[in-house]
Amino acid sequence: MEKEEITKNPKFKKDSAKKALRIFKYIRPYMWYFVTGMIFLVLSSLLFMGLMGLPGEMANIALGKPKFNLGLSVKDFGWIFLIILILQGVFSYLRTYLFAVVSEKGMADLRIRLYQKIITQPIHFFEERRVGELTSRITTDVEQLQSVFSVTLGEFIRQIVVLIAGIIIIIVWTPKLSMIMLMTFPAIVISAMFFGKYIKQLSRQRQDELAHTNTIVEETFQSFAIVKAFANEWYEVIRYSKSVEKIVSVSLSFAKMRGLFFTFIITILFGGIFFILWQGALLLERHEMEAGDLFSFIMYTGILGGAIASLGTLSTQILTAIGATERILDILECDSELDIQDNASEGEALHVKGNIVYNNISFAYPTRKDLPVLKDINMHIKAGQRIALVGQSGAGKSTLTQLLLKFYKPDSGTITVDDLDINDMNLTHYRNNLAIVPQEVILFGGSIRENISYGKPGASESEIIEAARQSNSLEFIHTFPEGLDTIVGDRGIKLSGGQRQRIAIARALLKNPKILILDEATSSLDAESERLVQEALDVLMVNRTSIIIAHRLATIKDVDWIYVIDNGVIAEQGTHSDLIEIKNGVYASLAKLQFENT
Nearer to ligand ATP, 50 or 394 (CB): 394
Among Mg ion, ligand ATP, none, what binds residue 333 when CB lies within 5 to 8 Å by partner kind?
Answer: none
Q: For residue 30, give every residue at least 6 positions away whose Cβ sits within 8 Å of its Cβ, in sequence order, or none.
A: 101, 102, 105, 106
Looking at the chain, the number of H-run helices and the number of E-run strands are 24, 10
369-428 positions binding Mg ion, by CB under 5 A: 398
Closest to 29 measured CA to CA, from 96, 94, 95, 109: 109
What is Dmax (Cα atoms) for the chain? 120
Q: Which of the stretches 13-21, 251-259, 397-405, 580-588 binds ligand ATP when contact is defined by CB under 6 A?
A: 397-405
Q: For residue 58, give every residue at least 6 positions away whose Cβ sits within 8 Å of its Cβ, in sequence order, or none.
A: 74, 77, 292
Q: Which of the stretches 96-104, 187-195, 317-325, 387-395 binds ligand ATP when contact is defined by CB under 6 A?
A: 387-395
Nearer to Mg ion, 389 or 459 (CB): 389
Q: How far is the CB of 127 from Mg ion (least distance, A)?
A: 15
Residue 161 identity: V
The long-range contacts involving 289-292, CB below 8 angstroms and separated by at least 24 positions, are 289/174, 289/176, 289/177, 290/60, 290/63, 290/65, 290/67, 291/59, 291/60, 291/63, 292/55, 292/56, 292/57, 292/58, 292/59, 292/60, 292/61, 292/63, 292/65, 292/67
Nearer to Mg ion, 289 or 565 (CB): 565
Using CB under 6 A, pick the residue from 11, 14, 368, 583 that binds ligand ATP.
368
Neighbours of 299 (CB within 10 A): 19
Closest to 297 measured CA to CA, from 469, 520, 60, 543: 60
Q: How far is the CB of 378 from ligand ATP (least distance, A)?
A: 17
Instruction: Let me know: does 198 contact 257? Beta carbons within 8 Å.
Output: yes
Among Mg ion, ligand ATP, none, what binds residue 472 when CB lies within 5 to 8 Å by partner kind?
Answer: none
Q: How far is the CB of 140 from ligand ATP (least distance, A)?
A: 28
Residue 522 as a binder of Mg ion (CB under 5 A): the answer is: no
Q: How far is the CB of 438 from Mg ion (least distance, A)?
A: 9
Nearer to ligand ATP, 323 or 391 (CB): 391
Q: For residue 109, give every residue at least 6 positions away whose Cβ sits within 8 Å of its Cβ, in sequence order, or none.
A: 26, 27, 29
# residues near ligand ATP by CB under 6 A: 13
Q: How far is the CB of 508 from ligand ATP (least distance, A)?
A: 19
113-172 positions binding ligand ATP, by CB under 6 A: 127
Using CB under 6 A, pick the residue from 157, 365, 474, 491 that binds ligand ATP.
365
Q: How far is the CB of 343 from ligand ATP (least distance, A)?
A: 27
Q: Which of the stretches 102-110, 112-120, 268-276, 363-371 binds ligand ATP when contact is defined by CB under 6 A?
A: 363-371
Residue 69 as a binder of ligand ATP (CB under 6 A): the answer is: no
Closest to 508 measured CA to CA, from 486, 536, 489: 536
Instruction: Let me know: does 199 contact 254? Beta carbons within 8 Å.
Output: yes
Q: How far is the CB of 569 from ligand ATP (least distance, A)?
A: 12
Torsion angles phi and psi, residue 264, rounded to 5:
-60, -50
Question: Which residues, listed in sequence order, are joined to residue 380 by a DSSP beta bridge?
Answer: 357
Q: How far is the CB of 516 from ligand ATP (least distance, A)?
A: 17
Helix/strand/coil (H, E, C) string of 523-557?
A: CCCCHHHHHHHHHHHHHHHCCCEEEEECCCHHHHC
Among ligand ATP, Mg ion, none, what binds residue 396 when CB lies within 5 to 8 Å by partner kind?
Answer: ligand ATP
Determine the Cα–Cα distance for residues 381 and 546; give it in Å rounded to an integer: 9
319-338 positions binding ligand ATP, by CB under 6 A: none
Using CB under 6 A, pick the residue from 136, 146, 201, 399 that binds ligand ATP.
399
Using CB under 6 A, pick the residue from 52, 202, 373, 443 that binds ligand ATP.
373
Residue 577 as a binder of ligand ATP (CB under 6 A): the answer is: no
Task: State the Rg of the chain over Cα.
Answer: 35
Determine the Cα–Cα distance for residues 256 and 203; give it in Å rounded to an integer: 12
Q: Which of the stretches 172-180, 280-288, 392-400, 540-548 binds ligand ATP when contact is defined by CB under 6 A?
A: 392-400
# residues near Mg ion by CB under 5 A: 1
What CA–CA distances, in Å, run from 32 to 35, 36, 48, 106, 463?
5, 6, 24, 12, 49
Q: How far is the CB of 519 from Mg ion (least distance, A)?
A: 6
Residue 315 as a binder of Mg ion (CB under 5 A): the answer is: no
Nearer to Mg ion, 398 or 501 (CB): 398
Residue 205 as a binder of Mg ion (CB under 5 A): the answer is: no
Instruction: Let me know: does 306 contact 300? Beta carbons within 8 Å.
Output: no
Q: Find the residue with minimal CB distance to Mg ion.
A: 398
117-136 positions binding Mg ion, by CB under 5 A: none
**What's the distance, Cα to Cα, between the start and end of the chain in Å?**
52
What sign for the dihedral angle of Cα 108, 109, 114, 119? positive
Among ligand ATP, Mg ion, none, what binds residue 598 when CB lies within 5 to 8 Å by partner kind?
Answer: none
Among ligand ATP, Mg ion, none, what binds residue 365 when CB lies within 5 to 8 Å by partner kind?
Answer: ligand ATP
Give the binding site for Mg ion (CB under 5 A).
398
Residues of this chain that interact with ligand ATP (CB under 6 A) are: 127, 365, 367-368, 373, 391, 393-399
